[in-house]
Amino acid sequence: MFIDEFVEKNEDIKLLLDIYKEEFREAYKKLKKNQTKKKKAIIRNSQWIFMKWYFSSLIDNTYFSPANIINRIVYERYGGESVVLPNITPIFIENEIRDFRVSFRIDHILRCSVLDDVRKLQEIIKENPLEMKNVPLDKIFDVYKNEVSIKEENYYLYLLQFALMVGAIQIVEEKNSRRLVAVDKEIDRWSETQYYKILIDYIIANTEYHLKRVINSDVINADYVKNLLKNKMIFEEVAKSLLKALGLKKKQIEKFLMNDFEGLNFSYLNEFIMAESILIKEFIIPFSYYIPIIQPCYLDGLKFNELFDMVIQAEEENEPVEEIIFTSMLIYDLSRLGDTILRSPRRVKYQDVFDKKVDVQEIISMRKQITENPEFFDFWKNIKINDLEDLLKSLEEEYKKEEKNEEKPKKKFHKEGNVIHLFKKD
């Protein structure tokens, strides 16, 4: 069975995606019929909402994101470096949900879905060259947005720019015209690996350009951005490097990250917020969902009611939704594809936490228990690091005693900072 067919038929993957459908539907139902503007805000941003959910922990402060679980399921079956990127698009009729459309992209060393979309764009423009003069971008996007894999305006623009860069299309200037035309040549003259590298360099250059507009420092260059592409990355550490580039000293950085701004120039705060937003929008999102070189995990989980409120508020205040909902409380690793393309020497990852075959039912059951018993969740969320160390020591001693008496299934506690995972070990 090919991977495409496997992910479409796999019951565990279906269970996970059903969580999204059910919780999205329930949160949407809470919007009243006459709240048309709010409903349209959710409809417009449903791609962002799915993207955030896919990389968010199903259980707060764990690495149990749908992305991590689904890609583990695929890895257990096929091995290799394939990365699965599902998409769930709600189908709305008169602003009400009627159904959901599910699709999958599978990227690996011989297949790049962005390149597939470039080919589609090339074919569309080959049949109908596009007039660009005095035409708004959204009208240009309308020509091809239904044919490409990601339904989001940033991606439409990204795809257009990349297609121009690799020579799949070009702009032809005439007296009273400025048209997009397809170049009559195959774009398959390079291998997929080479295209991945071109895409990676493009995203790095784009991130560097936008960061430099905010932070005037020699620290910010292409090498700085490249060095962010590695395993076991905590976004807070990236934030520290940004603050250092802004000129803050070690003690000032510590105060800043504790939200203690006394004695600090508030221009630092504005510049930092802008730089952080740039990294999310120009680096994290393209490298995780456009081309899956990294796999992030948002540790604070996702509650649809709260997320919908954030989306609606962002639209009302004319703020970019993606800069509001994609929080900086995240870690990320290279994906297996990222390891292969970048030839990463260090392949130890935060998200390699499965001691045995992934048990989706167990994770869903654990999630349900925590949802129904919030005091248990609060205990893990608020536990202090010293108390946690004491607890782990006492549990280890208890398990050693149990082992002497009888053979019992035991639990492994995997800790990175304040992130806890409980696993039964065979």
Tens of pLDDT, residue by residue over 271-308, are 988 999 999 999 999 999 999 999 999 988 789 999 99
Please report whether residue 133 resides in a domain.
no
Of all residues in the chain, the percent with pLDDT exceeding 90 is: 56
Percent of the chain with pLDDT over 70: 88
Rounded mean pLDDT of 93-101?
Answer: 94
pLDDT band at 415 (very low <50, low <70, confident <90, very high): very low
Query: pLDDT band at 383, cuts 50/70/90?
Result: low
Domain containing residue 303: 1-111+295-403
Query: CA-to-CA distance for 296 and 12, rounded, in angstroms?
Result: 21
275: in domain: no
What's residue 380's pLDDT?
A: 56
On whether residue 349 sits in a domain, the answer given is: yes
Q: Are 159 and 112 in contact (CB under 8 A)?
A: no
**Residue 418: pLDDT above 60?**
no
Q: Tell me the average pLDDT across 107-128.
A: 92
For the stretch 256-273, pLDDT in tens is: 888 887 777 777 888 988
Find the mean pLDDT for residues 163-181: 89
What does the pLDDT average to over 206-227? 94
In the numeric block, the tokens 């003069």 are attached to 133
pLDDT at 376: 61
Amino acid at 28: Y
**Do the domain assignments include residue 146?**
no
Q: Is residue 43 part of a domain?
A: yes
Share the mean pLDDT of the chain: 86
Of 260 and 405, the one with more pLDDT: 260
Mean pLDDT of all residues in 387-402: 65
Paired tokens of 231: 């395993």
d(CA 97, CA 103): 17
- pLDDT confidence of residue 194: 87
Rounded Cα distance between 330 and 311, Å, is 19
Query: For the CA atoms of the chain, what is the radius of gyration?
Result: 23
What whole-number distance in Å separates Cα of residue 392 and Cα of residue 404?
19
How, if at all, do strands 130-131 and 177-182 pair? antiparallel
Angle between helix axes 266-278 and 235-245 (nearest 10 degrees) is: 130
What confidence tier does 227 reach under pLDDT thresholds 50, 70, 90?
very high
The yes-or-no verdict on residue 371 having pLDDT over 80 is no
Where is pLDDT greater, at 258 or 163? 163
* Element housing 250 (H / E): helix 250-257
Number of domains in the chain: 1
Is the pLDDT at 113 greater than 70? The verdict is: yes
Q: How far is Cα 334 from Cα 319, in angstroms, rounded to an integer?
A: 30
* In-domain check, residue 425: no
Q: What is the per-residue pLDDT for 408?
A: 46
**The tokens of 38 are what?**
């709010």
pTM of the model as a whole: 0.85
- Classify residue 246: in a domain, yes or no: no
Q: Tell me which of 157-166, 190-199, 274-283 is least confident.
A: 190-199
Residue 268 has what pLDDT?
81
pLDDT in tens, 40-74: 999 999 999 999 999 999 988 889 999 999 999 99
The predicted pLDDT at position 167 comes to 87
In a domain, 396, yes or no: yes
The Cα diameter of the chain in Å comes to 89
The average pLDDT across 300-322 equals 92
pLDDT at position 222 over 90: yes
pLDDT(399) > 70? no
- Whether 180 and 130 have beta carbons less than 8 Å apart is answered as yes
Which of 114-123, 182-191, 296-305, 391-400 is predicted with the least confidence, judged by mean pLDDT? 391-400
Nearest to 321 by CA among 49, 27, 21: 49
